[in-house]
Amino acid sequence: MPLKDNQNQYGTVSRVLHWGIAILLLWQFLSAASHFFFDDTAIEAFFWPTHKPMGFLLFVLIFIRVIWALINVKNRPPSINWFARLGHITLYLLMLAIPALGLLRQYGSGRSFEPFGIPLFSGFESGKIEWTLDLGGLLHGELGWLLFVLTIGHIIMSFWHKKSKTTENVMPRMWGRQSKE
């Protein structure tokens, strides 16, 4: 299997990033749902403490994925239509914006942030930065739920394209098959 993408399928790097991000997104959705629906329970105690560090890891991987996609933009399998292209662009934008808003809110809180022991920024005692808290509070969670809905739509559309007799089965692009090169 080639490392780089080609017109028929995504390469190993794109696939590893895609499925790694998918697993982390599932974890983030579970941690957010546990916080929302199961506050002060063992379920929340298991998931919620991981939300911020996993969100940071997700942000880094998504940034790498965007760079990799731009490097491979001419080699990637073409979108099947403008709606699919718009959907993927929207998913990428949300996957970048949501953790960026979370980081902005964390910074504005004045608390330090050290995901996985990596000092990203130290805390400060000079008061909170209200506009960062307000912006993050207003959009982080709501956009996260929108990403959840669009992700479910992405999965449904993948299966629809697999079953449809009128459209291309797009699943082999990301699941793997022999290249037509």
**Distance, first Cα to last Cα, the chain:** 11
- Would you state the pLDDT for residue 178? 46
Question: What CA–CA distance (Å, rounded) separates 36 from 31?
Answer: 9
170 phi and psi, to 5 degrees?
-90, -10
The dihedral built from the CA positions of residue 34, 119, 97 and 101, taken in this order, carries a sign that is positive
39 phi and psi, to 5 degrees?
-55, 135
| Residue 82: inside a domain | yes
- Would you state the pLDDT for residue 170? 82
| Residue 72: inside a domain | yes
| Residue 84: inside a domain | yes
What is the CATH classification number for the domain harbouring 67?
Answer: 1.20.950.20
Q: Under DSSP, is residue 153 helix (H, G, I), strand (E, B) or coil?
A: helix
Q: Which two tokens stand for residue 175?
A: 């699941």
| Residue 36: inside a domain | yes
| Residue 175: inside a domain | no
pTM: 0.88
Give the range of the structural domain holding residue 148, as residue numbers without chain letter. 12-169
- Residue by residue, pLDDT tens for the chain (181 residues) are 788 898 889 999 999 999 999 999 999 999 999 999 999 999 999 999 999 999 999 999 999 999 999 999 899 988 888 999 999 999 999 999 999 999 999 999 999 999 999 999 999 988 899 999 999 999 999 999 999 999 999 999 888 888 877 777 888 888 866 444 3
- Whether residue 138 contacts residue 102, with contact meaning beta carbons closer than 8 Å, is answered with no
- Whether residue 170 contacts residue 158, with contact meaning beta carbons closer than 8 Å, is answered with yes
| Residue 78: inside a domain | yes
| Residue 2: inside a domain | no
Structural domains of the chain, count: 1
- Would you state the pLDDT for residue 179? 40
| Residue 123: inside a domain | yes
